[in-house]
A = this chain, B = another copy of it.
Amino acid sequence: MITIETFVHILDLGGTFVFAISGAVAAVNRRLDIFGILVLSFVAGNFGGITRDVLIGAVPPAALTASPYLLVSVLAGLITFFLYSGVDRLRTPVLLFDAIGLSFFAVAGAQKAISFGLSPVMSALLGMLTGIGGGMTRDLLLMEIPQVLRSDLYAVAALAAAGVVVIGHMLGLPYGTSAIVGGTLCLGLRYMAIRHGWHLPIAYLSAQQRAKNNSPDDK
């Protein structure tokens, strides 16, 4: 029978792979060389988990001690490098792989935080951080405002998935069940955000305030 540890590990590696692909595609789009592509693959695939591990005191982080994470990231980078020219839709794959990685990581990250004894609320937030950390770092390295901060229910989807895992744990449900429910919820929210424009409210600004914002004087 498959244990929780193995299941978390598989989710983690799966998330690493798809996020690494998203990093590699972003790097190819920016015309980085093969090494830049591999760096972005590794960063996008592992930085969420590394940040989580450093914060909960699990150092050296799993991504640096267990070789599969590195292998999976490099593999994703190489696949993207060699097969990219066959892929013609540039934006969709990044969004899709990103969404799958987000749900895998949020679900696995929350479970790891629980097993390290953090409180339910913090476990849910660390699950969210695990999910959004890799993509955030990927975007920052390429000098883009992180996707997570540009509406589209991004962090909310990760938080929902992590929250389901935490609530499931408190109710004593099997981890597999809450992982699947949480992951599906995350994917569904991202789908509705991308396809149907679901989004959260933004603060109301008067016309005058908006005008001021459009003429920024930085200091």
Instruction: Give A residues with C-beta under 8 Å from B.
Output: 27-37, 39-40, 50, 54-57, 59-61, 64-65, 67, 70, 80-82, 84-85, 88, 90, 118-119, 121-122, 125-126, 136, 140-146, 148-156, 199-206, 208-209, 212-213, 218-219
Contacts and interface: CB of A to CB of B under 8 A. Distances in A.
A140 B30 CA distance: 17
Which of A36, A67, A81 neighbours the largest number of chain B CB atoms within 10 Å of its CB? A36
Contacts of A55: 50, 54, 59-61, 64
A17 to B, nearest CB: 18
How many copies of the chain does the oligomer comprise? 3
Q: Which 7 A-B pairs have the closest CB atoms?
A: A57-B59, A33-B200, A33-B151, A85-B204, A28-B203, A36-B149, A34-B200
Q: Which of A80, A81, A219 has the most CB of B within 10 A?
A: A219
A46 to B, nearest CB: 11
A151 B118 contact: no
Contact of A144 (B39, B64, B81, B143): B143
Given A85-B206, A121-B70, A145-B142, A151 B32 contact: yes
A202 B81 CA distance: 8
Contact of A90 (B29, B149, B209): B209
A57 to B, nearest CB: 4
Nearest to A150: B219
A81 B203 contact: yes
